[in-house]
Structure 1
Amino acid sequence: MILTVTPNPSLDRTYEVPSLDRGEVVRATGDRMDPGGKGVNVSRAVAAAGVRTVAVLPLGGAPGALVAQLLDEQGIEAAPVPVAGQTRSNIAVAEPDGTLTKINAPGPELSDAEQESLLATVGERSVGAEWIACCGSLPRGLEPSWYADLVARAHAAGARIALDTSGPALLAALAERPDVVKPNAEELAEAVGRPLATVGDAVKAAEELRERGARAVLASLGADGQLLVDASGTYFASAPVDAVRSNVGAGDSSLAGFLIAGGTGPAALASAVAHGAAAVQLPGSAMPSPSDLAPDAVTLTAEPPLNRPLTEPAS
């Protein structure tokens, strides 16, 4: 079982449009509504693979009730923590060329009692979990140290932690030695305080996060592929993508693929890349099923192309 923790979940609405013209009436050619938040997306991808998952998340108001309903309809076991504020609603607008415009609401502010209830629920539901995936931004009311506290508690209970967050929350948690962290290129650049122009720059930044406490770093480099830096070495993998339809949740799908495959080593990296490549070719924040994957298309090496410029340099 893989437990996910999403402190700031959302109700995600995605619209596909011919073009996004500011100030004009734009008619959508397609739309979908999904339960959202990075941990929720990980649970959705894990469930699509036929693996049991439990999603712990604070929910409030009508949007929260709809998130719970959508999770149930997708066969995902939820462990909701009731909160007074309303769960946020996010909007994404996808254009045919792959351009994605997102509007993310801030979400509710959690009281001290709600924060503690969230931590307690994680502890109660993590019994028997192979991994705990802690994902996404922190809602108002939670200090950057909240994830660090969660990692410490989980390790004390014998669980392995995968952490996908950024900024001060990521830096604070490194001291508690999360088993794997999953930044994208921009988050990796922010964490080390310098721009990343090449694959080699990303490798050095990942190594620095390991020196600060992360046991492994799974870094998404967008169209260029993904890196895994752990105690056994450094690995780089990529896969061809015919056309990008939406990149919403692609990184979350990658983390799910990594954890499904055991969460360690090059085989797990290959699974992560296969899941991410499949996700970007699906609409909205749809998560890939096994039939969407093309594992044979993944190229993996223990000798990353260090001098290769990143398609999208991170600053």
Structure 2
Amino acid sequence: MIVTLTANPSLDRTITLPAPLQVGDVQGAQSAREDAGGKGINVARAVVAAGEPCVAVLPLAMDDPFDTALRGSGLDAHRVPIAGHVRANLAITDPAGITTKLNLPGARLSPDEISAVVDATVTAAAGARWLVLAGSLPPGVPDDFYVRVIEAVRAVHGAQAPLIAVDASGPALAAAVAHGHPDLIKPNDEELGDLVGADLTGADAQTALDVARALVPDRVGAALVTLGARGALLVDADGAWAAVPPPIRVVSTVGAGDSSLAGYVLAHVRGQQADERLRLAVHYGAAAASLPGTQAPAPDDLPLGDVPLTRLT
């Protein structure tokens, strides 16, 4: 079983334009859709679509309209009651696949609600193979929240604790790397650069590898670094591999990184080796980018093209 924690879920509204976005102008939209989102939710939806069991933990008020979208996703969700309501995020995409996002901060959690989310995650993690801690933190939640979750899960479950992946950014990711020693992190190039104080925007896989080696394996077990259209990089204690995505028509990049993480975890629970985990991760990321909105790709959505791999030194 795979467990995900989404501390800051979102109702993702995606508007598709028939032409490029004109700032300050009035434009007609081609279509719109709503999805239950947030990084952990996106990972869970892709895992379930692949036929693997998954539990999604999230803070959610009983009267929150978000629950309608969540139930429609078919997820097995563990809802932790809170007072506030889930935020709404807006994504605007144009025919070239260029996406503009507006993300709201989310509901503020009280100290008691934060503790309840930690306790629920510890309970759900019993017997799991992976625990995925993903996404931004809502107001009221300290930067070391993921560290607190990691320590609580490992303290309770000991040697039976699941492998832990962290997909976050900024101070939350920095704290997890500095103090949590997760088994996997999934930054993009910009987030990896922020961790070490370097500008990696547009960097190639070899440049990203040189930076990632400062973290792997001393601070994290492995790093899956997504590089957008340039593919992805996987670094672990045994080596490093770069992968190039197959050709696709980009529709929306929202959730592509989340789907890449889902592909990696799916390959791992099925016993595949590191290079094949990277290959499936890139396939899933490419599939998500070819779908509208924040849709989770199913196996039938994966592109047919090959994903070339290169062993790096």
Q: TM-score, normalised by structure 1?
A: 0.92
- Selected match of 2:164 from 145, 148, 161: 161
1:165 and 1:183 in contact (8 A); partners too: yes
SS in 2 for 1:227: strand
Query: How far does residue 208 in structure 1 lie from its aligned partner after superposition?
Result: 1.2
SS in 2 for 1:208: coil
- Selected match of 2:216 from 204, 210, 218: 210
Distance, in Å, in 2 between the alignment partners of 1:241 and 1:261 is 22
- Selected match of 1:251 from 253, 257, 266: 257
Distance, in Å, in 2 between the alignment partners of 1:225 and 1:90 is 26
Distance, in Å, in 1 between the alignment partners of 2:124 and 2:55 is 8
Query: How far does residue 225 in structure 1 lie from its aligned partner after superposition?
Result: 0.7
Alignment partner, residue 37 of structure 2: 36
Distance, in Å, in 1 between the alignment partners of 2:16 and 2:303 is 25
SS in 2 for 1:272: helix
Alignment partner, residue 90 of structure 1: 89
Distance, in Å, in 1 between the alignment partners of 2:286 and 2:211 is 23
SS in 1 for 2:215: helix
- Selected match of 1:192 from 175, 196, 221: 196
Query: How far does residue 22 in structure 1 lie from its aligned partner after superposition?
Result: 2.4
SS in 2 for 1:302: strand
1:43 and 1:76 in contact (8 A); partners too: yes
SS in 1 for 2:146: helix
1:225 and 2:224 equivalent? no
Alignment partner, residue 57 of structure 2: 56
2:248 and 2:303 in contact (8 A); partners too: no
CA RMSD, 1 decimal:
1.6
SS in 1 for 2:142: coil
Distance, in Å, in 1 between the alignment partners of 2:248 and 2:266 is 25
Distance, in Å, in 1 between the alignment partners of 2:220 and 2:9 is 25
1:4 and 1:43 in contact (8 A); partners too: yes
State which drifts further: 253-262 or 294-303.
294-303
Alignment partner, residue 300 of structure 2: 291
Alignment partner, residue 6 of structure 2: 6
Alignment partner, residue 171 of structure 1: 174
Query: How far does residue 154 in structure 1 lie from its aligned partner after superposition?
Result: 2.2
Question: Deviation string for 1:178-219 (max 9, x for gaps)?
Answer: 000000001001111012233222001111122551010000
Distance, in Å, in 2 between the alignment partners of 1:50 and 1:177 is 29
Alignment partner, residue 118 of structure 2: 119
| Code of the aligned partner of 2:268 | G
Q: TM-score, normalised by structure 2?
A: 0.92
- Selected match of 2:290 from 278, 281, 295: 281
Query: How far does residue 91 in structure 1 lie from its aligned partner after superposition?
Result: 0.7
Distance, in Å, in 2 between the alignment partners of 1:269 and 1:23 is 41
SS in 2 for 1:150: helix
Query: How far does residue 241 in structure 1 lie from its aligned partner after superposition?
Result: 2.6
Distance, in Å, in 1 between the alignment partners of 2:171 and 2:186 is 15
Structure 1 pair 24–294 and aligned structure 2 pair: CA distance change class (3 A) = closer
Distance, in Å, in 2 between the alignment partners of 1:23 and 1:239 is 35
1:241 and 1:281 in contact (8 A); partners too: no
SS in 2 for 1:141: coil
State which drifts further: 215-224 or 290-299.
290-299
Query: How far does residue 176 in structure 1 lie from its aligned partner after superposition?
Result: 2.1
- Report the identity percentage: 45
5+ residue gaps, structure 1, are 305-315
1:238 and 1:300 in contact (8 A); partners too: yes
1:131 and 1:259 in contact (8 A); partners too: yes
Question: Deviation string for 1:240-268 (max 9, x for gaps)?
Answer: 23311000000000000000111661111
5+ residue gaps, structure 2, are none
Distance, in Å, in 2 between the alignment partners of 1:279 and 1:225 is 13
1:154 and 1:160 in contact (8 A); partners too: no
Structure 1 pair 129–115 and aligned structure 2 pair: CA distance change class (3 A) = same
1:267 and 2:276 equivalent? yes
Alignment partner, residue 310 of structure 1: none
**Number of aligned positions between the proteins:** 302
Distance, in Å, in 2 between the alignment partners of 1:268 and 1:142 is 32
Query: How far does residue 170 in structure 1 lie from its aligned partner after superposition?
Result: 1.3
Structure 1 pair 290–211 and aligned structure 2 pair: CA distance change class (3 A) = closer
